[in-house]
Structure 1
Amino acid sequence: MSGVYHLEIKETPEELKELLANQKTATGFERVQLLYLLKTGHGQTISQTAEIIGRNRVTLHKWIRQYSSGGIEGLLKQKSSPGRPRSIPTWAETALSKRLQEPLGFNGYQEIVEWLEQKLGVNTCYKTVHKLVYYRLESCPKVPRPKSSEQSQAQVEAFKKTLQTT
């Protein structure tokens, strides 16, 4: 019969059905569905299976080649694009995170920009530093409040004890 594709599918229909239920993405579901339809005989030809799934037959042939070369892992392997590299490298980010934990802190984001440039040699802009510190590191430039030299620690503790909280 013309168009019938002979593919040795190692998994049982029960295993494929379980894999179908566990798929988190639509593409993974479609790929496992291809194997399930071919294994159970619901899709007798690639063209018929392509119609059922709603994909082009060339796409199904590509998936079959992936399955033949890498098994089920090769078929379900997700490609991830590397994306644009961060303007502040991870080593500088960890150094900044450690510096933010110190009690001295920074006076503001502009001071962090200058510190990155002078100490680490990382040239970046204010907006990038703000997004990194505030959103990614979930921190803020820490500045201790000024304390009076005349302030007594005993008086502070006594005030805290007598302060009424509601």
Structure 2
Amino acid sequence: MAGVLKLDIQESAEELKLLLGKQATPTGKERVQALYLLKIGKVKTITGLAEILGRDISTIFRWFQRYKTTGLEGMLTVPRNQGRKPLIPTPILETLKQELHQPGRFRTYSDIREWLRETHGVDASYKVVHETVRYRLKVRLRGCRGKRRSSGVRAS
């Protein structure tokens, strides 16, 4: 019969039912429920399971492939994305941190941008450099802040 799922579920129906109640995330509940429905014989095909769970067939197939290779634990762990890679790599950040602690090394964030471009070939925007230095490295530049304009009126 086409679409019949051949999956050897190691856990008993009772174990799966208990595990279903212990799941903290909706994703985990959904995956354990898929195994439970197959184990008790309520569903025989991936298509039927997809209709009940409201998921695409390929999603359920991917869950079961992970179950076959890594077991129940592997199926329940949801891989987290690492996010975007920082524009300025960590080794360069360490070097920059050392350079920032040298008095008078950089006066402005533009100086830091130029240093990054010339020394390390990193072309970072002013915003990236400012946020990295100020908030990630927690360093404030003590350079010249420019002349303040006075209104021409002196306080006496």
> What TM-score, normalized to structure 2?
0.64
Match status 1:18 vs 2:19: yes
Mark the runs of 5 or more structure 1 residues left unpaired by the alignment. Answer: 145-166
1:20/1:33 contact within 8 Å kept:
no
Q: Deviation of residue 8 (structure 1)?
A: 1.7
Distance (whole Å) between structure 2 residues aligned to residue 62 and residue 128 of structure 1: 38
Residue of structure 2 equivalent to 1:112 = 112
Cα 1:76–1:123 shift into 2, 3 Å: same
Preserved CA contact (<8 Å) 1:87 1:124: yes
CA–CA distance in 2 between the matches of 1:35 and 1:72? 10
| Distance in 2, Cα, partners of 1:6 & 1:53 | 19
Instruction: Give how far 1:94 is off.
Output: 1.6
Map 1:54-133 onto structure 2 (within 5 A). Answer: 54-76=54-76, 78=78, 85-100=85-100, 102=101, 104=103, 106-133=106-133
What is the CA–CA distance in structure 2 between the aligned matches of 1:23 and 1:87, rounded to whole Å? 35
Deviations 1:124-149 (A, max 9, x none): 332221121223333322459xxxxx
Tell me if structure 2 keeps the 8 A contact 1:104–1:143: no
Partners of 1:12 and 1:129 lie apart in 2 by 56
User: Contact 2:43/2:49 (CA < 8 Å) preserved in 1?
Assistant: yes
- Structure 1 residues 50 and 133, CA gap change in structure 2 (3 angstroms): same
Shift of 1:4: 5.4
Q: Quickly say closer, same or farther: Cα 1:54–1:108, change in 2 above 3 A.
A: same
State the shift of 1:3 in Å: 6.0
**Conservation of the 8 A alpha-carbon contact between 1:104 and 1:142:** no
| Structure 2 Cα separation of the partners of residues 117 and 92 of structure 1 | 11
Are the counterparts in 1 of residues 30 and 53 from structure 2 also a CA contact under 8 Å?
yes
Bigger radius of gyration, 1 or 2? 1
5+ long unaligned stretches in structure 2? 145-156
Contact 2:113–2:126 at 8 Å: present in 1 too? yes
Cα RMSD over matched residues? 3.5
- Rounded Cα–Cα distance in structure 2 between residues aligned with 1:119 and 1:110: 14
Structure 1 length-normalised TM? 0.61
Determine if contact 2:110/2:126 at 8 Å carries over to the other structure: yes
Q: Do residues 38 (structure 1) and 38 (structure 2) align? A: yes
The percent identity for this pair of structures is: 40
